[in-house]
Amino acid sequence: MPAASAAELLRAHALRPLEPEEAAMVADARAFVSAHPDCLERTCRPGHLTGSAWIVSPDRRRTLLTHHRKLDRWLQLGGHADGQADLLAVAAREAKEESGLEPILAASPALFDFDRHWIPARGAEPGHWHYDFRFLFTADPAAALAISSESKDLAWVELERVRALNPEASIGRLVRKTRLLP
C-alpha cells in the first residue's frame, strides 16, 4: 500500500495526548487513507495528503510563515505529496522550494500536528480536503530567504504575534504545542 507510511504516522500520532478536535481529524484521516489508495495524488477526490513544515527558530520564539498567494493567508510552508509516500520529505522539499531556506533540520520523524482543512474551488479545480501532515523543523532566522511564486511574502514571526496574522484554530494549536516543547 503506497500510503502505509502515512497510515503508520497517523496511528502513532493517535497514541499521543491530542486535543479533541485534532483527535477527531486524525481518526477521519485514518479512515480516509484506508479507503483511498490514491490519497497521495492530488487527483484523489474528495481530497489528498499534504506535508507541512512548522519551522521554528532554535530558541523556539519565532516561526517562519508564508503569505500564501492563492489563499491570501499567513500559513506554515507546505504542499502536495504528489505521489511521494515520505511525508516528512514532502514537508522539507516544500519548505525549501517555498522559502529558499537551508538548512532546515527535522526535530523528529514523528508528526508534530495533524490538520484537515477545506480548500475552496478555484477555476476548474473543485473544492477538496487537504489532510495535512505537519512536522516540526528548526532553522536559523538569519539565513537567506527567497520568496517563491507561491507566496506574497515570507516572515519570521514572534510566536505571540502569529495569531494576529492568522487566527485559525489549527495555527493556534501549532503555537500552543511549540510553547509546550521542552
Q: How far apart are CA 26 and CA 37, in angstroms?
A: 17
Q: How far apart are CA 155 and CA 87, in angstroms?
A: 24
Tell me if 127 sits within 8 A of 121, measured CB to CB: yes
The residues with which 114 forms a beta bridge, in sequence order, are: 133
| Residue in this structure with the C-alpha cell 495555527, named with its chain if needed | 171
- Residues of the chain scoring pLDDT < 70: 1-2
Q: How far apart are CA 61 and CA 56, in angstroms?
A: 7
Digit-coded pLDDT (tens) for 56-84 = 999 999 999 999 998 899 999 999 999 99
Q: How far apart are CA 88 and CA 2, in angstroms?
A: 15
| Residue in this structure with the C-alpha cell 530567504, named with its chain if needed | 145
Digit-coded pLDDT (tens) for 151-164 = 999 999 999 999 99
Question: Which CATH number belongs to the domain containing residue 175 in this structure?
Answer: 3.90.79.10
Q: How far apart are CA 91 and CA 88, in angstroms?
A: 5
Domain count along the chain: 1
Give residue 70's pLDDT: 85
Tell me if 108 sits within 8 A of 88, measured CB to CB: no
Domain span including residue 88: 4-180
Give residue 71's pLDDT: 84
